[in-house]
Amino acid sequence: MTSNLSRRAFLKTSALGASAVALGAPGVARGFPANEKVKLGWIGIGGRWGNLAELMIKHVPDAVNVAVCDLIPDRVERGKKVFERDKPNGYTDLRVMIEKEKLDGILVVTEPCNHSVVVVPVLEAGIHCFAEKPMDTTVEKVDAITKAARKAKGVIYQIGTQRRYSPPHLAGMELIHGGTLGKVMLMQGHWHWAHRPQVPRMVARDGGMLVEQACHHTDVMSWVMRDKPPITCVAIARTEIPTPEGPNVHNEQQSATIWQWPGGEIFSYTHLLWLARHFQTEQLHVHCQKGGVDLAHGVMHRADHDAKTAAAPQEELKDQFADDPRGDWGMGTKEELQAFVANIKAGGKQPINANVESGRIATLMCLMGRMAAVNAAKNAYEPRVVHWKDLGSTTDLA
C-alpha cells in the first residue's frame, strides 16, 4: 500500500485544475478481444460501494477488480478483502493508482461533494469513468465535470442514476415517448421514508436530501421530458430537528417542490422523512392526455374520458417490478454496471443511457429546488420562485 495522504492534501493536489499530464496515464479507450477481462479500479470504499461491489462480483463476469483506493487505510483493507478473488492492490492516493495500474475503467463512489475532485482527473487521464449520483453538490462542480466529459472524446462518463437501465422504466419511457398516450401534462413523484434521523446531515457533504437522494427522480422526469431543462421552480422545505447553524449547514428533512417546462408540463414532488412505515413509498407517475404510467411499478392505465377508452382493459408494461408495493428501489443497478463494462469492451461506442447531459439536468434540477427553498443570504428556509438561468451554469447548450 502507498503512504497515506491527508484529506486536505488530497483535495489540494487532485483539485479541479489537476492536470492529466501530471498523472502520466495514457488513454485506454480501446476495443477488447472477446475473452479479455476489463480491468477496474475503485475510488471510495464506503457504504454505497458495498452494494455495487457485490453486484459487480455476482453479475459482471467480464470485469476484474484490480485496484481499490480510499483516503482511509482501513477502508482500503476492506476493499481488498471483498475483492479477494481478484487480488487487488490497495492505494490511498488516486494519482499513484492511476500511474501504477493499467486500468480500463474507474468507478467513483466517494461522498457527493468529492465527485468532481476525482472524476475530472480520471476523465483527463483518458480512463473510462462510472461515477455515482449526483454529479456533485454545486453548480460550479457540475459545470467542471460537464466540461471535462464533453472534452474527453471517446471516453465513457456514466452516472449512477440506475433507473435509466431498469427494464420497466425503459419500457415505460418507450411508451411515453412513442406517443401512445399523447402529450405529457403532469408528473407526480415522491420518496417518503419512515426513518428518523437523529442528527441532520451536512449540506457540504451531499448538497441536501433533495440533491443527494431526489436526483434519482428528477432524472426520471427530465428523461420523460427528453432531457430538456425546466424553466421555473418553486419549493418549500423545513427540518424536524432545527439547528442553530441553519439550512446552509444542515440538510432539510421535508420538502415539496414543483418544476415547470416551457410547454407548461409540471413535475410535483415531495421528499419526506419521519413518517409511519405504512407511508414509506416511492412514486413516479406520468399523466398524459390518453392515460398514465406508474413508472415505479411498471403499469399503464388508459384514460376513460369517453366510452371508447373506458372499455379498454388495463395494459401492463413489458416487465413488472417485484410484488413489494414499494417497488424495487435498486432496479437497474446490476444492469448499469453490466452496461458500463460492456461499453468499455466495445471501445466506448455504445450509447450511454445515463450520460453527462442527462446527469447535468437532473443534478441542476435538484440544486434549483434547494435554491428555491433556501435563502442562502439569510441562511433561512424561504420559499421563492427560481428560474433556470438563476443557477448561473456555464454549460448550457444553445
What pLDDT, on the 0 to 100 scale, is given for residue 311? 59
* Residue 235 DSSP SS3: strand
Question: What is the residue-averaged pLDDT of the chain?
Answer: 88
* CATH 3.30.360.10 is held by the domain 166-327+356-391: yes
Domain ranges, ordered by start, for the chain: 7-132, 166-327+356-391
Beta bridge partners of 272: 192, 254
What is the rounded distance in angstroms from the CA atom of residue 294 to the CA atom of residue 287? 9
State yes or no: pLDDT of 29 exceeds 70: no
What is the rounded distance in angstroms from the CA atom of residue 97 to the CA atom of residue 321? 39
Reported as a pLDDT band with limits 50, 70 and 90, residue 21 is: very low
Q: What's the whole-model pTM score? A: 0.89
pLDDT tens digits, one per residue of 310-360: 556 666 664 443 344 345 678 899 999 999 999 999 999 999 999 999 999
CB neighbour class for 259 (10 Å; exposed up to 12, middle 13-18, buried from 19): buried
> What Cα–Cα distance (Å) separates residue 351 from each residue in 128, 132, 154?
14, 18, 12
pLDDT tens digits, one per residue of 180-233: 899 999 999 999 999 887 777 899 999 999 999 999 999 999 999 999 999 999
Reported as a pLDDT band with limits 50, 70 and 90, residue 391 is: very high
What is the rounded distance in angstroms from the CA atom of residue 335 to the CA atom of residue 340? 9
pLDDT tens digits, one per residue of 119-128: 999 999 999 9
Amino acid letter for position 77: E
What pLDDT, on the 0 to 100 scale, is given for residue 321? 37
Element (H, E) at 287: strand 282-288
Write down the residue that cell numbers 411498471 correspond to: 298
What is the rounded distance in angstroms from the CA atom of residue 246 to the CA atom of residue 263? 36
> What Cα–Cα distance (Å) separates residue 238 from each residue in 111, 201, 377?
23, 14, 17
Q: Would you state the CATH architecture of domain 7-132?
A: 3-Layer(aba) Sandwich (3.40)
Cell, residue 66 = 484490480
What pLDDT, on the 0 to 100 scale, is given for residue 296? 86
Amino acid letter for position 374: V
Reading across the β-sheet that carries 232-238, which strands appear in turn?
Answer: 315-316, 299-302, 291-294, 282-288, 184-192, 266-272, 254-260, 232-238, 385-387
Q: Which pairing describes strands 63-69 and 89-91: parallel, antiparallel, or unpaired? A: parallel
Write down the residue that cell numbers 483493507 correspond to: 77
